[in-house]
Amino acid sequence: MASSSMRRSLLAASFVLILFFVSSASAAAPANLVISKVDRKIDLVSQVVRTTAQIKVENKGMEPASEVLLAVSSEQAKSMAYLRVTTTEGRGKSKAPGVVLSVKPAEGEGPANVTFFSVELPKPLGKGEAVALDIYSAYSHLLKPFPVEIGQSDVQLVLFHDSAYYLSPYPVKVQTTAMRVPSFRVESFTKVEPSKITDGEIKYGPYENIPALTYSPITAHFENNEPFAVVKDLEREIEISHWGNIYITEKYRLTHAGARHKGGFSRFDYQSKPSASGAASFRHLLARLPSRAHSVYYRDEIGNISTSHLRSDLRKTELELEPRYPLFGGWQVTFTIGYGVPLQDFVFKAEDGRRFLNITFGSPFVNVVVENLVVKVVLPEGSTETTALIPFHAEQTLKTKYTYLDTVGRTVIELTKKNVIPEHNVNFQVYYRFNSIALLAEPLLLVAGFFAFFAACIAYTHFDFSISKSSSSYQARQLREEVLDAVQRIQKVMNERAVASEKLEASLRDLARTGNVAASKAARKETDVKLKETAKDLKAILDSLPASSRSTVLAKVDTLMQKEREMQEKLQQKHTITVEAYEKKLSSKEIDSRVAPYQQKLTALKQEVSELLNLLDD
Amino acid sequence: MASSVISITSPVSESFYPILAVFLLTVGLVSTASFFIYEVTTSKFNRSIIREVATGGLASFFLGFGSLFLLLWTGVSI
């Protein structure tokens, strides 16, 4: 270990030299700018290193400068996740707090170990003018655990490498650097006078008149037990349904990226001595979900994981979940969380008629680094003209996905980004065109499905699927069908006749009430016509009955028809007598006594007919 | 920005999903039953194709929309 750190400092020393030589060559490239003051703060409290540098740039040259170069050592540039430069003009008076400036990687030659970024100034810096810039940058995976492997009872120590001087392509007049560490336990730090440590803060400087691109390596070795929760792969799927919900599914592969665990794991020690055991491990994760999130689930391949808590109030929903086991260095766990949010909270209609989704980009978990983030926005079927608007660079691809009740598939915008830190948790937009009529595609598909089933049933009952048309069982079935059909037709005609006689009886009742003989006669005539017609129909049906079945059915039908005819005759007689009686203006008593015998017979016959009809059903 | 954009809501309020699902499915199943009763009680020769298609169509309309709202009610992402 000692030899490796020796080698590292040797390497660093040569690095300084190289930089010095190259800097003289490339000094001509940037304009004659000078940084008059640098105030740098490095936050080493969590797993993400965040630096803020407030610099003041002055133009000492003749020509105006339109851009300022920033230098970052290549090692740091590799793990740089976020860089934002803002300008603070006008010293806090009326001006807005900060204008975000555009930053792009600078091309051109430079020392191999340094990566340059060029910052475009809002207006060129004239001779003798100065501008104040705030440079905020964040790095993941910059803290290296040392020792690399620790036991269960050990604390986690990490190394941080940087330069004591602010790395800049311009000479720096005055500068200070402060590093905030999470604990008072600092094993060592490189001293570059004047430097000191106070209250969890390591201070370097002030240093004066440092030439351009001076790199003086420093190393801080300190305790950091913050959870190094790194999500190796995260797949967020945001599925929009215009029926009222957005469903979000997130698949995680979570690791502990701190010092690797060494030796065995004692659950007893872990439970009984929580302060002394597994200091760098973590067992909880907190996710801040949208305020109206519902149907939250947390599961993995095995099934539901019950160790989670959901708290929600009007402003936020918090999901605290525990993986199936505490995570020590190098351990990993996979799980899936999912939730639904109301459509109206995240999807809007823009002025030009397009619709857009406005939702956060990164993981809802607090303080996690996502190495590989894939955000899939699944738009409803029938969406066109899809564009995504993200405030930083991310790869975009268009895909198609088929889920429930899809015909042509849904458009999916897939956004891929590496090295995502909480700073990337900002809203992004996906614009698309969608016609509300397309909403009907899903129910109509279901309707069509059901209708196909009914159509199949209709077809099945209408077509004859038997193979052998000459077998006796087939013929018997065919015959039965025909007889059944005839019987049904007879029943139908009988019903018609019954309705007709009912009418006649109703006219008799009317007669008794009003004494209107003419109306009753008319009704009689009508009924007679009807009966005559139906009698013809009945005869036709009887003739059409297949000969072989006559013996069995005919007897029944014959008796029925006989009785029915008898009944109709009795009714007619009753009618005739009643009408006559009325014409003779007989007293009602006399009418009753004359009609009574017919009435009795009629009731008996009616009973018989209905019984016969029922019998025929069997 | 908030003033010029309108948030998009579902064409049918979500609180109606359960009642719609139950009602539409009930009507759908009743008409399905009447369809099949008609199929088995009438003989092959005097069945009316129009009546069959009409009952079947009605049943499938109600069953289709009913099952849509059932899916939405149960949280299937469609």
- Paired residues of A157 in beta bridges: A223
Instruction: State which residue of chain B sits closest to A406, comparing Cα positions.
Output: B78
A484 chain-B contacts, CB cut-off 8 A: 43
A245 token code pair:
């919900």
B8, B67, B76: residue with CB nearest A355: B8
Residue B38 within any structural domain of the chain: yes
Residue A351 within any structural domain of the chain: yes
SS3 of residue A605 by DSSP? helix
A241 chain-B contacts, CB cut-off 8 A: 77-78
CB contact under 8 A, B35 and A443: no
B11, B46, B60: residue with CB nearest A450: B60
- What is the per-residue pLDDT for A552? 64
- What is the spatial distance between Cα A327 and Cα A321, in angstroms, rounded to a whole number? 13
A405, A453, A485: residue with CB nearest B46: A485
Burial class from Cβ neighbours inside 10 Å (0-12, 13-18, 19+) for residue A45 reads middle
Q: Are residues A610 and A512 in the same domain?
A: yes
A553 chain-B contacts, CB cut-off 8 A: none
Of A364, A382, A362, nearest to A372 by C-alpha is A362
Q: Are residues A244 and A382 in the same domain?
A: yes
- What is the per-residue pLDDT for A559? 76
Residue A581, sorted as left (phi over 0), alpha (psi -120 to 50) or beta, turns out to be: alpha
Alpha carbon of A312: minimum distance to chain B alpha carbons (Å) = 20
CB A71: neighbour CB atoms within 10 A? 25
State the pLDDT confidence band at B3, using cuts at 50, 70 and 90: low
Residue B5 within any structural domain of the chain: no
Alpha carbon of A511: minimum distance to chain B alpha carbons (Å) = 39
B10, B46, B53: residue with CB nearest A489: B46
Q: Are residues A139 and A196 in the same domain?
A: yes
Tell how strand A308-312 and strand A332-342 pair up. Answer: unpaired
Instruction: Report DSSP state, residue A304.
Output: B
Q: Are residues A212 and A347 in the same domain?
A: no
The domain boundary, picked from A414, A439, A464, lies at: A439
- What is the per-residue pLDDT for A32? 82
What is the residue type of A360?
Answer: T
A242 chain-B contacts, CB cut-off 8 A: 8, 10-11
CB contact under 8 A, B39 and A461: yes
Stated as kind and residue range, the H or E segment containing A6 is helix A2-26
B57 chain-A contacts, CB cut-off 8 A: 451, 454
Contact (Cβ atoms closer than 8 angstroms) between residue A220 and residue A318:
no
Instruction: State which residue of chain A sits closest to B1, comparing Cα positions.
Output: A350
CB contact under 8 A, A244 and B9: yes
Alpha carbon of A450: minimum distance to chain B alpha carbons (Å) = 5
> Which residues contact residue B41 at a Cβ distance below 8 angstroms, ignoring those fewer than 6 apart?
none
B49 chain-A contacts, CB cut-off 8 A: 458, 462
Stated as kind and residue range, the H or E segment containing A49 is strand A49-59
Rg of chain B in Å (alpha carbons)? 18
Contact (Cβ atoms closer than 8 angstroms) between residue A187 and residue A166:
no
DSSP codes of every residue in A57-95: EEE-SSS-EEEEEEEEEHHHHHTEEEEEEEE--STTSSS
Write down the mean pLDDT value for chain B. Answer: 89
Alpha carbon of A261: minimum distance to chain B alpha carbons (Å) = 41
Q: A271 to each of A200, A259, A326, A373, A607, how far by Cα in Å?
A: 30, 21, 11, 34, 89
Q: Are residues A573 and A495 in the same domain?
A: yes
- What is the spatial distance between Cα A22 and Cα A28, in angstroms, rounded to a whole number? 11
- What is the per-residue pLDDT for A419? 92
Tell how strand A103-105 and strand A114-125 pair up. Answer: antiparallel
Residue B10 within any structural domain of the chain: no
CB contact under 8 A, A243 and B12: yes
Of A360, A338, A362, A323, nearest to A250 by C-alpha is A338
SS3 of residue A467 by DSSP? coil
- What is the per-residue pLDDT for A9? 47
Instruction: State which residue of chain B sits closest to A342, comparing Cα positions.
Output: B9
Long-range interactions of A410-413: CB distance < 8 A, separation 24+: A410/A378, A410/A379, A410/A380, A410/A381, A410/A383, A411/A378, A411/A379, A411/A383, A411/A384, A411/A386, A412/A376, A412/A377, A412/A378, A412/A379, A413/A376, A413/A377, A413/A379, A413/A386, A413/A388
Tell me the residues of B at the A interface, defined by beta carbons under 8 Å apart.
4-12, 14, 28, 35-36, 39, 42-47, 49, 52-53, 56-57, 59-61, 63-65, 67-68, 71-72, 75-78
A446 chain-B contacts, CB cut-off 8 A: 63-65, 67-68
- What is the per-residue pLDDT for B5? 80
CB contact under 8 A, B77 and A247: yes
Stated as kind and residue range, the H or E segment containing A176 is strand A172-180
Alpha carbon of B44: minimum distance to chain A alpha carbons (Å) = 7
Residue B61 within any structural domain of the chain: yes
Instruction: Report DSSP state, residue B10.
Output: -
DSSP codes of every residue in A528-588: HHHHHHHHHHHHHHHHHS-GGGIIIIIHHHHHHHHHHHHHHHHHHHHHHHHHHHHHTT--H
Task: Give the total number of structural domains in chain B.
Answer: 1
Q: Are residues A119 and A176 in the same domain?
A: yes
B8, B39, B46: residue with CB nearest A457: B39
Alpha carbon of A134: minimum distance to chain B alpha carbons (Å) = 28
Alpha carbon of A117: minimum distance to chain B alpha carbons (Å) = 32
Phi, psi of A500 (to 5 degrees): -65, -45
Low-confidence ranges of chain A (pLDDT < 50): 1-29, 93
Residue A447 within any structural domain of the chain: no
- What is the spatial distance between Cα A124 and Cα A65, in angstroms, rounded to a whole number? 5
- The average pLDDT across B6-25 equals 91
**What's A434's domain CATH number?**
2.60.40.1730
List the single best residue of A240, A241, A242, A243 to mutate versus B (max B Cβ within 10 A).
A243
Q: Are residues A563 and A585 in the same domain?
A: yes
Instruction: State which residue of chain B sits closest to A448, comparing Cα positions.
Output: B60
Task: Give the total number of structural domains in chain A.
Answer: 3
CB pairs under 8 A between A and B: 122
Instruction: State which residue of chain A sits closest to B47, comparing Cα positions.
Output: A462
Residue A448 within any structural domain of the chain: no
- What is the spatial distance between Cα A318 and Cα A291, in angstroms, rounded to a whole number? 8
Domain extent for B20: 15-74
Count of helix runs (H) and strand runs (E) in chain B: 2, 1
Alpha carbon of A445: minimum distance to chain B alpha carbons (Å) = 8
Contact (Cβ atoms closer than 8 angstroms) between residue A284 and residue A226:
no
Q: Are residues A390 and A408 in the same domain?
A: yes
A351 chain-B contacts, CB cut-off 8 A: 4-5
The domain boundary, picked from A416, A439, A462, lies at: A439
Q: Are residues A216 and A243 in the same domain?
A: no
Domain extent for A40: 2-223
Alpha carbon of B33: minimum distance to chain A alpha carbons (Å) = 12
Residue B67 within any structural domain of the chain: yes
Instruction: Report DSSP state, residue A424.
Output: G
Angle at A510 between CA A513 and CA A560, to 5 degrees: 135
A349 chain-B contacts, CB cut-off 8 A: 5-8
Q: Are residues A305 and A402 in the same domain?
A: yes
- What is the per-residue pLDDT for A285? 92
Stated as kind and residue range, the H or E segment containing A99 is strand A99-101
- What is the per-residue pLDDT for A577? 79
CB contact under 8 A, A243 and B45: no
CB contact under 8 A, A457 and B56: yes
- What is the per-residue pLDDT for A3? 44
Instruction: State which residue of chain B sits closest to A379, comparing Cα positions.
Output: B78
**E-strand stretches of B1-78:** 6-7
Contact (Cβ atoms closer than 8 angstroms) between residue A42 and residue A60:
no
Of A245, A46, A11, nearest to A142 by C-alpha is A46
Instruction: Report DSSP state, residue A168.
Output: -
- What is the spatial distance between Cα A49 and Cα A77, in angstroms, rounded to a whole number? 12
A350, A404, A485: residue with CB nearest B5: A350
Cα within 13 Å of Cα(A60), Cβ side: 12
A446, A488, A489: residue with CB nearest B68: A446
DSSP codes of every residue in A426-454: -EEEEEEE--GGGGGHHHHHHHHHHHHHH
Phi, psi of A477 (to 5 degrees): -65, -40
- What is the per-residue pLDDT for A26? 43
Residue A451 within any structural domain of the chain: no
Which pLDDT tens digit goes with each residue over A468-482? 777 888 887 777 777
A241, A444, A485: residue with CB nearest B77: A241
What is the residue type of A341?
Answer: V
